[in-house]
Amino acid sequence: MLSVSKYWVNALYRKARTSKITLPHGEVDAPVFMPVGTQGTLKGLLPEQLEELNCQIILGNTYHLGNRPGPDLLEKVGGLHKFMGWKKSLLTDSGGFQMVSLLDLAEITEEGVKFQAPHDKSVMMLTPEKSIHIQNAIGADIMMQLDDVVASTTTGPRVEEAMYRTIRWLDRGLKANKNATTQNLFPIVQGGLDPDLRRKCAQELIKRDVAGFAIGGLSGGEEKKLFCKMVSISTDILPRDKPRYLMGVGFAVDLVVCVALGCDMFDCVFPTRTARFGSALVPTGQLQLKKDKYKKDFRPIDDSCSCSTCQRYTRAYLHTVVTREPVACCLAHST
């Protein structure tokens, strides 16, 4: 059965908590922000640099990794950890989200998500079993179940259908997991913006023997008040001694609010993507480094930051290389 990762709550402020999540590849101090390394790398950073930034867990995308390098190769080389030279923990999504968000032609049936592969236009089917099969080949410490995702603004019977289907797909996923002792499978709380459906879903999921939970289907442009309510309803029901991963939420303000609501794990491509477009994150917001006003600004990005970029380079220097020279992305400072 599942190896329940040790998890304990150190402090509570209302619902907020700090904790240590013990995973096969080391401990993760939560609340934790997980940078997204879509294709087995984090935009121009060496795995060693990530470790030096004290990064304890990164996220890989099952859809992309399933395409290239593909589960066969990953299995052959002993998983993504080995393949990319990453010693700390890994989390993978189910692959379903990419299909729904990237592909026009996704059709969802009880069996799974049917979609047209963008590279050769062939029709493929991602089932809960297939998702776990790929994630087993990747070998992440935490895997996500395939869920039936609907836009958070959807209303009506489709939301209910998706919620119940998500629970059925969880059970299929749990059954398919070949590495139950080394890979933790997280269920996903669905139910749109309907408080009753959310509650029902959470209550059903906690009956399963799993090590942690995810809250999904949010942050798709819904009203902030409703968004917070849905998170809070979910965390009220989820057991206090297991980690909660709020999927797809990474903007600084949302992070703080959702920590207060009892979430522990977050992801978003936000920091690395902003770096690529020449912005740096600072406590007060963002610096658009290519703007002319930084031309003679001889301060570091952030006076209080200890990253190697802030230790060595000024805003003025970064202004000269940003979006132009191939060193720029590699100097991205991480928050």
Partner 1 sequence: MMKFVLKQVKNGCRLGQLVDLPKEVAEKSLETPMCMLYTRAGSVPYMGRDVLDRIDKLPGAVNMPIPLLVENMDAMAEFPGGIKKFAAMDDFMTYCSIQDPAVLTPSGYNTKKAVSVWSCHGKYELDIPGYIKLMSSLDVDWVQSLSDGDTDRNTSEKRVIKSVERTINYLDELLEEKEKHEKLHSTKLIGTIVGGYLEEKRFHSARETAKRPVAGFSMEGFHNFGPESETFDLEDVKHLLSKTLELLPQDKPRILPGLMSPANLLFAVELGFDILDTSYPLFYRQMKICSALCYDYNLPPTSTDNILRDSDEQSLGWEMDLYDERYREDTAPVVKSCTCYTCTHHTRAYINHLLKVSELLAKLLLNVHNLHHYLRTFEVIRRAIADDTFKHLKQHIINQKPS
Report the nearest approach of partner 1 to the CB of residue 326 (Å): 5
Task: Give the tokens for residue 172.
Answer: 């299929």
Q: Which of 157, 221, 285, 326 binds partner 1 (CB under 8 A)?
A: 326
Cα 158 to Cα 29: distance, rounded to the nearest angstrom:
37
Q: Which of 20, 25, 64, 199 binds partner 1 (CB under 8 A)?
A: 64
Residue 176: which of 135, 208, 115, 125 has the closest Cα?
135
Report the nearest approach of partner 1 to the CB of residue 12 (Å): 38
49 makes contact with partner 1 (CB under 8 A): yes
36 makes contact with partner 1 (CB under 8 A): no
Report the nearest approach of partner 1 to the CB of residue 288 (Å): 17
Q: Is 236 assigned a catalytic role?
A: no
Catalytic residue among 141, 194, 254, 267: 267
Are 58 and 50 within 8 A, CB to CB? yes
288 makes contact with partner 1 (CB under 8 A): no
- 296-325 residues near partner 1, rule: CB under 8 A: 296, 298, 308-309, 312-314, 316-317, 319-321, 324-325
Q: Which of 2, 75, 83, 164 binds partner 1 (CB under 8 A)?
A: 83
User: Smaller CB distance to partner 1: residue 69 or 128?
Assistant: 69
Task: Give the tokens for residue 254.
Answer: 């949302």
Q: Is 303 assigned a catalytic role?
A: no
Binding-site size for partner 1 (CB under 8 A) equals: 41
Please state whether beta strands 265-268 and 32-35 pair in parallel, antiparallel, or not at all (unpaired).
Answer: parallel
145 annotated binding-site participant? no
Question: How far is the CA of 258 from the CAs of 14, 34, 122, 163, in angstroms?
Answer: 12, 15, 40, 22
- Per-residue b or e along 41-79, where b marks 16 or more CB atoms closer than 10 Å to that residue's CB: bbbbbebeebeebebbbbbbbbbbbbbebebeebeeeeb
Q: Is the dihedral of CA 245, 6, 95, 191 positive or negative?
A: negative
147 annotated binding-site participant? yes
Residue 113, SS3?
strand
94 annotated binding-site participant? yes
Q: Could you tell me the end-to-end alpha-carbon distance of the chain, in angstroms, rounded to an integer?
A: 37
The residues carrying an active-site annotation are 93, 267
Binding residues for partner 1 (CB under 8 A): 39-49, 52, 64, 68-69, 73, 76-77, 83-85, 295-296, 298, 308-309, 312-314, 316-317, 319-321, 324-327, 329-331
